[in-house]
Amino acid sequence: MGVARQYSGTLGKIGNCQIGVTLQYATEREVVCLDADLYLPEEPWGNDSGRRAAAGVPEEIGYRPKWQLGLTLLGRAKANGFTGVVLADSAYGDVTEFRQTLDSENWRYCVGIEKTLKVIAANADLGEVAPYSGRGRPPTRPEKVRPGATSESVLQWAQGRTRDFRKVAWREGSKGKLSSRFAAWRVRPAHKLSAGKEPLAPCWLLVEWPEGEATPPKFFFSNLSAGTSLRSLVRTAKGRWWIEHSYKELKDELGLDHFEGRSWRGWQHHVTLVMLAYAFLVLQRRQRRQRRGKKGVAR
């Protein structure tokens, strides 16, 4: 069900596998899996109604990009009262429509992006909109927004501003405080500027550049408020570690990725039971912490 040659984080390479999109909710101390959906690759599943019908896939469901599945899960969560900051990797963060939809639906986010995305400074002067000459369509774009206009990739942007990086610690680890070098700037995503498209609304560009690395390896866009501190941006971005750890437990301890059935309903049942089992374990851990806390209180 949904099996195709595609990249799998479990395998660490491309292979025949299933891919599920999950939504997890993290607090200061706990993570639970709220929802999940099965990704159906465009080939051979998304465009083959007969194959989908044989596997019991509902008629209205076909190929949907992963970022669209993610938005669907977020919509269901919001309908049930959940809010928070959306964290996602570059498979989602690179998609302009994904970020714009989060903005329009009032989700705060801090999402990974690839080093090739283009930006300009948030306060860059793009010039004035030319006055209407009386012929043709009235101009709508500033004079510097035109085909062939240039902008920097986020990698080039960071490499040109090395003095802005400073060491930031975000939490205690098993061997002491976790820290690295970071910098953040207010920018406007401008990956279609060269095609004459006006850059998007200002946001944060956060970059991690560990000491000793030749180039920065991690980049993020975030729509957190303009007054957000660097430390808060870093702590938010690094919150994905808890989610990744939880996802690993779901797979390694509870067999989230062990389903080998051939039906849509079977996959849904398997994933639902795994999610419930994990929620039970989270509850048991909470109760164990509470018992330990009570034993440590002096009477």
What's the pLDDT tens digit per position in 66-93? Answer: 999 999 999 999 999 999 999 999 999 9
Supply the pLDDT for residue 126: 86
Residue 140, pLDDT > 80, answer: no
Q: For residue 170, how far is the Cα from the chain centroid?
A: 19
CA pair distance 20, 181, nearest whole angstrom = 33
Domain check: are 138 and 23 in the same one?
no
b/e per residue, 274-298, with b = 16+ CB within 10 A?
bbeebeeebeeeeeeeeeeeeeeee
Residue 268, pLDDT > 60, answer: yes
Give the percent of the chain with pLDDT over 90: 72
CA pair distance 218, 241, nearest whole angstrom = 14
Residue 16 pLDDT class (50, 70, 90 cuts): confident
CA triplet 94, 102, 41: central angle to 5 degrees?
55
Residue 299, pLDDT > 60, answer: no
End-of-domain residue from the set 204, 227, 250: 227
Name, in order, each residue with C-beta under 8 angstroms of 41's C-beta and a sequence gap of 6 or more.
2, 4, 6, 19, 63
Domain check: are 151 and 219 in the same one?
yes
CA pair distance 296, 201, nearest whole angstrom = 51
Q: Which domain holds residue 278?
A: 1-83+232-299
Coil, helix or strand at residue 290: helix
Residue 51 pLDDT class (50, 70, 90 cuts): very high
Supply the pLDDT for residue 297: 55
Q: What number is the average pLDDT over the span 115-130?
A: 90
Lowest-confidence range among 123-137, 159-173, 180-194, 234-248?
A: 123-137
DSSP 256: G
CA pair distance 119, 122, nearest whole angstrom = 9
Report the domain count for the chain: 2
Domain check: are 92 and 222 in the same one?
yes
Domain check: are 49 and 180 in the same one?
no
Lowest-confidence range among 13-22, 64-73, 222-231, 276-285?
A: 13-22
Number of DSSP helices (H) and strands (E) in the chain, helices first: 8, 12
Higher-pLDDT residue of 134, 253: 253
| Residue 10: count of CB within 10 angstroms of its CB | 15
What region, left, alpha or beta, does residue 75 occupy, with left being phi > 0 and alpha being psi -120 to 50 degrees? alpha
Residue 173 pLDDT class (50, 70, 90 cuts): confident
Domain check: are 176 and 248 in the same one?
no
Q: What number is the average pLDDT over the span 257-282?
A: 94
Domain check: are 119 and 198 in the same one?
yes
Domain check: are 21 and 148 in the same one?
no
Residue 56 pLDDT class (50, 70, 90 cuts): very high
Residue 156 pLDDT class (50, 70, 90 cuts): very high
End-of-domain residue from the set 227, 258, 290: 227
Domain check: are 218 and 99 in the same one?
yes
End-of-domain residue from the set 227, 258, 283: 227
Q: Which pTM was predicted?
A: 0.90
